[in-house]
Amino acid sequence: MVAKRPYRILVVERDHERAVSMKERLSALSGYLDILAASSCDEAAAVAGAGGCDVAVIGSVGEPAAVLERLVEIDSQRPVILLVSLESEADRERAFRLVERGAFECVDGGERFALEGAVVRALRTSELGIRLKGLERALAEKTSHMESILRSSIDLAIAATDLDFRIIYLNPVAEKLFGRRAEEVTGRPVDDVLLGDYLEPERIRPAFDTVRRNGEFRWRAETQRDGRRRVIDALITAIRDEHGGIRGFVIASRDITDERIAWESLDMRLRQQALVAEFGQCALEIVDLSSIMDEAVRVVAKGLDVEFAKVLELNEERDAFLLAAGVGWKEGLVGSAKVGAGMDSQAGYTLHADGPVVVSELSSDPRFKGPALLRDHGVVSGLSVLLHGADRPYGVLGAHTAKRRVFTGDDINFLQSVANVLSAAIVRRRLELDMQFVVGATAFVSGEEFFTELVRRLAEVLGVRYALICELVEDGTAAETLAVWAGGEKSANFRYRLKGTPCEQVVTGQVECYYPEGVAELFPEDRMLAEMGIESYRGVALVASSGEVVGLLVVLHDKRMPKERNVETFLRLFASRIGAEIERVRAERRLKYRTTVEKAIARVSARFASSPETTVNEALAVMGEAVDADRVHVCMISDDGRYVSNTHEWCNDGVESRRELLQNIEVGRIAWLLERLGRDENIIVGSVESLSEDAAGIRGLMKLRGARSVIIVPMKDSDGSLTGFIGFDSVRRGRAWSDDDAGMLRVVSDLIAGHRARKRTAMHLKKLENAIEQAVEMVVVTDSSGVIEYVNPAVSRISGYSREELIGRTPAVFKSGHQDGEFYRRLWETIMDGRIWSGELVNRGKDGALWNEEMTISPIKDENGEVTHFVAIKRDISEKKRLEERLRRSERLSSIGTLVSGVAHELNNPLTAILGFSEGLVEMEDLDEHVRSDLDVIAAQSRRAVEIVRGLLRFTGVKTSSKVSLDINELISGVLEFQGRDLARSGIEVRREFTEPLPPVLGDATQLQQVFLNIVSNAQYEMRSANGGGVLTVRTSSSDDEVRAVFENNGPPIPEHVMANIFDPFFTGKKVGDGTGLGLSIAYAVVKEHGGGIWAENIDDGVRFTVTLPAAAPAPREKRPARDAAAASAAAADARVLVVEDDEAIGRWLERVLLSRGFEVVRAANGKEAVTVLDGDPAFDCVLSDVKMPEMTGIELGAWIADNRPNLLGRLVLLTGAIDKEVDKCCARWGCRYMMKPLNSKKLVETVSAISEPSP
């Protein structure tokens, strides 16, 4: 009994991941598959040779063809599948070749199920006998499983027979392929119903015998069915049982018609491409044009498999063709037969058609009738394309056959490719002949002879009347001929302007311009065209190696220019050679010119050195003659920079001076020129007329001076500043000045500028010496060790030492003892490090007198960066110090006044309540006498407190305090508590971020509180004015030797001009009347006096002030005076009164006093509530309002009343606890009254009664 084994699939793949993927995909087909793997050709051969395999799959592994060859060599019957790309034409051609070499199938591995399908087909084809051993039993039993397998085949037609080859099964694919239904053919012989169309009768029985003997028979057959070609690939396999006996047969067939046609088409296309490539190579190698055409028709006949091929050459008149070359035509016709070029022939139709002309049936084609040449040869179908010449069609290339044929797109492309190669060869050969004629005459000549011979030959070859070579001059606005050929002879050279000529378009566009006719009418400004009788024009630009257009090559004719000659190509071929020759001639000319100019510059330099007083005019003459200029002029800018004048001028023979036209020219008139010269640009003007409107001023001056072309180079001082310029004019003709000219002329400009600079330097040094000698500031110069080498008179005047006494000594002579050794050590450390030192110190004079000095010391370094000297600029600031002290005292008085005013307000509010309520209790009749006595004491002491406050308000003196050990946190806290109420009314939130504990500082508590108060007040003012409030953050911190206080507010940033002067005396950024401008200057002086620092800076969301003070050892702190309080009293009258008071105690007291006197009282806690009350009920006889309140002050309430209830202004009484100038101003402006706290009840009632009393 034969053992059943799984099918073995060999996967040959170098990439491990892809191999694993392929094995998984194949394993998913069936569990009855044994997947083997190999990663190289040798491994694959070893596996196939050892145990064998049923199907091999070749993926990416070196050269797949080599693996295929090894596997086929081992077993040619084994199906081998190759995974390849089939996207491009080249891919499919490669796949075709692999199949020819023995591959079973090539599939695209990237397509879904392509691999699986190919393996299934291979197994079915190669091992179908093994797989179908039990087919007879399976078919008999008609298992649904086998049925589904057979029917699932997509493109494999399967028929099963018994031992007598009678059909027992036919799958749907087989029904479709053979055109028979299964029930129609079941039981019938297979050779009658299936194989008869695909296998010759005499081969059927031998085929059956082969199957019985060998177990299989394979064949490929081709037939025609329903007028359609059909190709199948078939395999007959014997079905064996488990004992090896044959039980039946299976016929597996596949329709490969489309594949066969595709491969045949591809093969034809490849052969055609090979023929085109072969012909292209021949066209390059063959010189004789007739031989090239003979090869062309041979290639066409072979590539299209036709009997006839031809080349028809169009005659000069374009009315007939000559059969110039051909294949298949009767003897003697090639070279003599002619065909008409009219639309009634295929060739003539092709001449005018827009593309190839295809004829399927010549006799019935409605477009034209066949000429005698085609009819005589029985032509039925044909294909023709146009042969292009250089400027006109050359002829037609055609292919014809006596059979009816449908030419494909590939056939058309093939013929067109051959035509393109042939056209190029024709153009190339004709061009070569013409070029040989011209090149032979010009190869060994140069310069003028080259130009002359070239235009002569070009005129002859191109058949034109005129040919000329021109060089651009005058900055490209004109052209000068280098050679002219006119009417068969050499003509004189001339110069002409380009504007309005066809040559202008050639130059500006750098292209070839062609006007076949009417060129004189197209360019009426070019009178020369009409005078010469020019009808047609063609010109090309001549370009140098740098890309610059240097000239033109032009041909002109008095008739329409013959287009059939390859004029454009010819001109372009010689344009580069002419451009190079012009470039060479220019280089020779330039070298000679440069040598002359350089010699002239050397002469000028020598004369400057030998005779500096007389060389400017001589230099201009020497340079003018060297560069062949008509006029040279030097213009200088006045010292005030307002005017430009011509200081020197030289004119060539026959050229008039125009110096008077360049005197006192305002710089604005020639700003265009001066701006560019200032940027170190050279001004090169080839044509004055071409200057833009921006340069209208200088253009007008140039035209007045008669200049046509100008070059102007700047004249600069050693520091690079523009002092003037030198101009070179071309008056009698235009000229193309170059950058090289400018470079050489700049040397002359530098020589003149250097001469003038040396004179100015001497004068400048003298002025500098006088300035230092007469300066108010002291100037001291020492060597690197500090020995004095120079002092100016100011030093002697202030110190009392003479210059002789100081030179040779060190600045230590001025030491006063006010600065310690550490001060001087830091000073020397700074300047010896190459840095600038600035600071203040006290010095002593010869007579012992002291003065305050502000000094800056700067190191002087040599070219190696080494310090060689020091220069000190010293200023006596003694008077400034005295002024600052006076300013500090003045500001201190102002600050104390502010402090006392605030204290008075804060104390007078509670004193008003205390006095008022105590006096009210005393008036009670049934009061105990002891209580009354106590109340009298309270009232007396309150009045005493009031007097103390009033005494403080009258205090204006300044008291000097000594420095003591202070806690900065405590000082700042005191200032914030003092200003707390005002800050709250201004809508300002205070945030404290104190470091505890801080090292103490040694200082004057009053002065430092003044510093902090000024900073806080300024922040409060700016935030309130800009935003109506804000956040003030105060931070304190310390380092080893320093205590720091930072005040940040989110008010507006400080403008740059304010920041620069913020600490200057009398400088203020506030509006008039809001500040003295002394606060921050005094703060600066106080901090500096305490050895600290103060500065301001803008931050992302506001402003930051920083104060630093030296840390000191702890010391006892000063005691601060405690705050007192006062009371108030009241009276009464009869009226309606609005009481506006934020202090609850005072409000209650005012209400009680007025109610007790019969008044009707309405209360409001602040200005906003009062506005609400007055909006709804304005009928009040009197309005009593506190001044300082949150949200809306009494002043702001008064302003609202003035705008909205002006009739109540006379009935308004403002209540204030301190003297306030603003209150005085408002009362004077509005006509209202104010009362000072603490209030007297009697006076209050009298005042309210007087105001409430009706007018008589």
For residues 394 and 426, is the Cβ–Cβ distance under 8 A? yes
Lowest mean pLDDT segment, chosen from 263-267, 271-275, 687-691, 1065-1069: 1065-1069
Lowest mean pLDDT segment, chosen from 120-134, 402-416, 481-495: 120-134
Asked if residue 811 has a cis previous peptide bond (ω within 30° of 0), the answer is: no
pLDDT band for 140, please (50, 70, 90 cuts).
very low
For residues 497 and 477, is the Cβ–Cβ distance under 8 A? yes
Torsion of CA 118, 121, 126, 131, to 10 degrees: 120
pLDDT of residue 67: 80
pLDDT of residue 458: 84
Helix axes 1079-1089, 1005-1027, angle to 10 degrees: 140
Taking alpha carbons only, the member of 1007, 1237, 974 closest to residue 1121 is 974
**Could you give the CA distance from residue 538 to residue 514 in angstroms, rounded to a whole number?**
4
Top-confidence residue, 422 or 943: 422
Element (H, E) at 139: helix 135-141
Range 973-986 average pLDDT: 84
1103: which 2 tokens?
A: 């402003």
- pLDDT above 90 coverage of the chain, percent: 25
The number of beta carbons lying within 10 Å of the beta carbon of residue 208 is 19
What phi and psi, each to the nearest 5 degrees, are found at residue 766?
-65, -45
pLDDT of residue 654: 87
For residues 78 and 55, is the Cβ–Cβ distance under 8 A? yes
Range 999-1012 average pLDDT: 85
pLDDT of residue 1130: 38
Residue 112 clears pLDDT 70, i.e. is over it: no
Residue 1199 clears pLDDT 90, i.e. is over it: yes
For residues 1141 and 1147, is the Cβ–Cβ distance under 8 A? yes
**Could you give the CA distance from residue 588 to residue 584 in angstroms, rounded to a whole number?**
6
Cross-strand bridge partners of residue 685? 710
Output Rg (C-alpha) for the chain, integer angstroms.
58
Q: What is the 3-state secondary structure (H, E, C) of 451-494?
A: HHHHHHHHHHHHCCCEEEEEEEECCCCEEEEEEEEECCEEECCC
pLDDT of residue 624: 87
For residues 1161 and 1155, is the Cβ–Cβ distance under 8 A? yes
Residue 114 clears pLDDT 80, i.e. is over it: no
pLDDT of residue 511: 60
**Could you give the CA distance from residue 647 to residue 727 in angstroms, rounded to a whole number?**
12
What residues have CB less than 8 Å from 1087, skipping those under 6 apart? 1011, 1093, 1094, 1107, 1108, 1109
**Could you give the CA distance from residue 915 to residue 454 in angstroms, rounded to a whole number?**
126
pLDDT of residue 227: 62
What phi and psi, each to the nearest 5 degrees, are found at residue 289?
-65, -35
**Could you give the CA distance from residue 646 to residue 724 in angstroms, rounded to a whole number?**
9
pLDDT band for 958, please (50, 70, 90 cuts).
very low
pLDDT of residue 327: 94
The number of beta carbons lying within 10 Å of the beta carbon of residue 780 is 21
Range 98-121 average pLDDT: 76
**Could you give the CA distance from residue 559 to residue 466 in angstroms, rounded to a whole number?**
11
pLDDT of residue 1131: 36
Could you tell me how many helices (H) and strands (E) the chain has, helices first? 40, 46
340: which 2 tokens?
A: 């008409």
Top-confidence residue, 570 or 1016: 1016
pLDDT of residue 1066: 56
Structural domains in the chain, sorted by start: 1-126 (3.40.50.2300), 130-255 (3.30.450.20), 263-432 (3.30.450.40), 445-589 (3.30.450.40), 611-766 (3.30.450.40), 779-876 (3.30.450.20), 883-1110 (3.30.565.10), 1136-1252 (3.40.50.2300)
Taking alpha carbons only, the member of 846, 854, 895, 845 closest to residue 872 is 854
pTM for the structure as a whole: 0.34
Write the CA distances from 988 to 281, 1016, 1093, 1189, integer angstroms: 96, 11, 27, 14
Question: Which residue reads 């050639």 in tokens?
Answer: 506
**Could you give the CA distance from residue 1255 to residue 123 in angstroms, rounded to a whole number?**
130
What phi and psi, each to the nearest 5 degrees, are found at residue 274?
-65, -40
List pLDDT tens digits, range 1146-1175: 888 888 889 988 899 999 999 999 999 999
Cα 24–Cα 25–Cα 29 angle in degrees, nearest 5: 110
> First vs last Cα of the chain: how many Å apart?
149
Residue 135 clears pLDDT 50, i.e. is over it: no
By 3-state DSSP, what share of the chain in percent is helix, strand and coil, each rounded to 5? 45, 25, 30
List pLDDT tens digits, range 793-840: 999 998 999 999 999 999 999 999 899 989 999 999 999 998 999 999
Element (H, E) at 303: helix 289-304
**Could you give the CA distance from residue 245 to residue 454 in angstroms, rounded to a whole number?**
96
**Could you give the CA distance from residue 649 to residue 666 in angstroms, rounded to a whole number?**
19
805: which 2 tokens?
A: 């006494």
Cross-strand bridge partners of residue 965? 1002
Residue 937 clears pLDDT 80, i.e. is over it: no
The number of angstroms, rounded, from the C-alpha of 111 to the middle of its chain's C-alpha atoms is 44
pLDDT of residue 480: 92
pLDDT band for 601, please (50, 70, 90 cuts).
confident
Residue 560 clears pLDDT 80, i.e. is over it: yes
Range 532-545 average pLDDT: 90
What phi and psi, each to the nearest 5 degrees, are found at residue 137?
-65, -40
For all residues of the chain together, what is the average pLDDT? Answer: 82
pLDDT of residue 1073: 46
**Could you give the CA distance from residue 897 to residue 1153 in angstroms, rounded to a whole number?**
33
**Could you give the CA distance from residue 1110 to residue 980 in angstroms, rounded to a whole number?**
28
Burial label, 624 (beta-carbon count in 10 A; 0-12, 13-18, 19+): buried
For residues 252 and 122, is the Cβ–Cβ distance under 8 A? no
Q: What is the DSSP letter of 62?
A: S
Taking alpha carbons only, the member of 470, 481, 478 closest to residue 500 is 478
DSSP letter for each residue of 721-745? -EEEEEEEEE-SS-----HHHHHHH
**Could you give the CA distance from residue 606 to residue 613 in angstroms, rounded to a whole number?**
13
Range 1135-1148 average pLDDT: 90
The number of angstroms, rounded, from the C-alpha of 177 to the middle of its chain's C-alpha atoms is 67
What's at 666, amino acid-wise? E
Taking alpha carbons only, the member of 727, 729, 723 closest to residue 754 is 723
**Could you give the CA distance from residue 507 to residue 542 in angstroms, rounded to a whole number?**
9
**Of the ranges 277-291, 603-617, 685-699, 901-915, the best mean pLDDT one:** 685-699
Taking alpha carbons only, the member of 715, 638, 643 closest to residue 683 is 715
- pLDDT above 70 coverage of the chain, percent: 85
Lowest mean pLDDT segment, chosen from 311-315, 925-929, 1048-1052, 1236-1240: 925-929
pLDDT of residue 259: 79
Element (H, E) at 320: strand 320-327
Q: What is the DSSP letter of 1039?
A: -
558: which 2 tokens?
A: 């008095």
Helices (H), 923-1029: 929-954, 968-985, 1005-1027
pLDDT of residue 886: 62
Residue 137 clears pLDDT 50, i.e. is over it: no
pLDDT of residue 994: 94
- Using DSSP's 3-state secondary structure scheme, residue 831 falls into helix
pLDDT band for 905, please (50, 70, 90 cuts).
low
For residues 1146 and 1130, is the Cβ–Cβ distance under 8 A? no
Range 705-730 average pLDDT: 89
pLDDT band for 865, please (50, 70, 90 cuts).
confident
Q: What is the DSSP letter of 689?
A: G
**Could you give the CA distance from residue 237 to residue 564 in angstroms, rounded to a whole number?**
72
Q: What is the DSSP letter of 785?
A: T
Residue 851 clears pLDDT 80, i.e. is over it: yes
Q: What is the DSSP letter of 166?
A: B
pLDDT of residue 830: 92
pLDDT of residue 563: 59
Taking alpha carbons only, the member of 643, 748, 690 closest to residue 508 is 690
**Could you give the CA distance from residue 632 to residue 852 in angstroms, rounded to a whole number?**
61
Lowest mean pLDDT segment, chosen from 88-92, 761-765, 851-855, 1053-1057: 761-765
Residue 488 clears pLDDT 80, i.e. is over it: yes
Residue 1120 clears pLDDT 50, i.e. is over it: no
Give the strands of the sheet with 1233-1236, arranged side by side.
Answer: 1160-1164, 1136-1140, 1182-1186, 1212-1216, 1233-1236
List pLDDT tens digits, range 611-629: 655 567 788 888 888 888 9
For residues 61 and 14, is the Cβ–Cβ distance under 8 A? yes
pLDDT of residue 718: 77
